[in-house]
């Protein structure tokens, strides 16, 4: 059995939407189950309702109060290592998150674990930052979730140092995906991008579109069809090969 697992607390964030995108996408090709363990089930249900269920029609049936998960293959986020859940598996596939960089800087623990049969799928900025076997990979968006986004601003002006969640330590800012940029562009909104010298995840996601992340682009031009061709899952996706 293939199982996607997430422990969630608080509001909607990149890890939650990445996991939902993953489930929406993979379930079109493979037999897979999703389990989300919220710290507060009632609040999570309200969060889902406010966000049109993130385009996942059966998300409420995926909610669980379990804290231990077992499956032949488990797919989850690196965030999971600091969550109050346990897992037993033959194969573990990890999707990168900002937690990779936070662990690299010693801001959060990333416990020393048996690394056999564990694969970290990550953008080039995160490769070899942790001790897992790493493969280059880019998160895929699901059209179902993108179609539920109704609160996107008409004009997004993006700067890393204006985004609280991108702040790491001292003068270090790091964006793992920069999902809001691609969501806005896909929805036909204007985006002004201010470059930064750091080669973080966003730098490499932009590079997929032949955009130099160190430069300013006012406006940033990436078409919805380019996003579909580059950041939507296809039948040759690496995750589909691994499970």
Q: Write out pLDDT tens, residues 66-113.
A: 999 999 999 999 999 889 999 999 999 999 999 999 998 889 887 666
The answer on 215 and 124 residing in a single domain is no
Q: 197: which DSSP letter?
A: S
* CA distances for 143 relative to 30, 105, 146, 147, 213, angstroms: 18, 34, 5, 6, 25
For a pLDDT cut of 90, what percent of the chain falls above it? 83
* CA distances for 8 relative to 47, 97, 162, 179, angstroms: 11, 14, 25, 19
| Distance in angstroms (rounded) separating the CA atoms of residues 175 and 116 | 29
Residue 205 is predicted with a pLDDT of 98
The answer on 43 and 137 residing in a single domain is yes
The answer on 164 and 115 residing in a single domain is no
- Give the SS3 label for residue 200: coil
Per-residue pLDDT reduced to its tens digit, 123-172: 999 998 888 889 999 999 999 999 999 765 678 999 998 888 889 988 88
The answer on 196 and 78 residing in a single domain is no
The answer on 154 and 135 residing in a single domain is no
Work out how many domains the chain is built from and give that number.
2
The answer on 165 and 64 residing in a single domain is no
The answer on 109 and 18 residing in a single domain is yes
The answer on 72 and 37 residing in a single domain is yes
For a pLDDT cut of 70, what percent of the chain falls above it? 97
pTM above 0.85, yes or no: yes
What is the rounded average pLDDT for all residues in the chain?
Answer: 94
The answer on 133 and 13 residing in a single domain is yes
Residue 153 is predicted with a pLDDT of 63
Residue 109 is predicted with a pLDDT of 86
| Distance in angstroms (rounded) separating the CA atoms of residues 169 and 80 | 22
The answer on 221 and 110 residing in a single domain is no
Domain span including residue 196: 150-230
**Strands of the chain, DSSP E:** 2-8, 32-38, 68-77, 86-95, 118-122, 133-136, 155-158, 167-169, 172-173, 190-193
The answer on 168 and 132 residing in a single domain is no
The answer on 23 and 64 residing in a single domain is yes
């Amino acid at each position: 059995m293939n199982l996607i697992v997430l422990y969630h607390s608080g509001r909607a964030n990149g890890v939650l939407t990445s996991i939902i995108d993953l489930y929406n996408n993979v379930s079109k090709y493979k037999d897979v189950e999703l389990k989300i363990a919220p710290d507060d089930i009632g609040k999570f249900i309200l969060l889902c309702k406010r966000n049109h269920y993130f385009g996942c029609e059966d998300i409420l049936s995926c909610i669980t109060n379990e804290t231990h998960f077992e499956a032949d293959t488990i797919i989850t986020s690196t965030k999971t290592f600091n969550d109050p859940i346990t897992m037993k598996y033959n194969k573990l596939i990890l999707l990168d998150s900002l937690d990779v960089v936070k662990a690299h800087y010693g801001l959060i623990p990333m416990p020393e674990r048996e690394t056999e049969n564990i694969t970290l799928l990550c953008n080039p900025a995160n490769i070899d930052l942790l001790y897992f076997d790493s493969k280059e990979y880019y998160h895929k968006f699901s059209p179902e979730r993108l179609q539920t986004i109704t609160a996107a601003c008409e004009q997004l002006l993006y700067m890393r140092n204006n985004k609280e969640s991108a702040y790491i330590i001292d003068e270090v800012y790091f964006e793992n995906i920069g999902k809001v940029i691609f969501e806005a562009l896909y929805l036909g909104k204007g985006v002004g991008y201010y470059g930064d010298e750091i080669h973080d995840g966003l730098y490499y996601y932009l590079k997929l579109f032949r955009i130099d992340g160190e430069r300013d682009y006012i406006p940033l031009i990436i078409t919805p069809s380019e996003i579909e061709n580059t950041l939507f899952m296809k039948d040759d996706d690496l995750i589909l090969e691994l499970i």
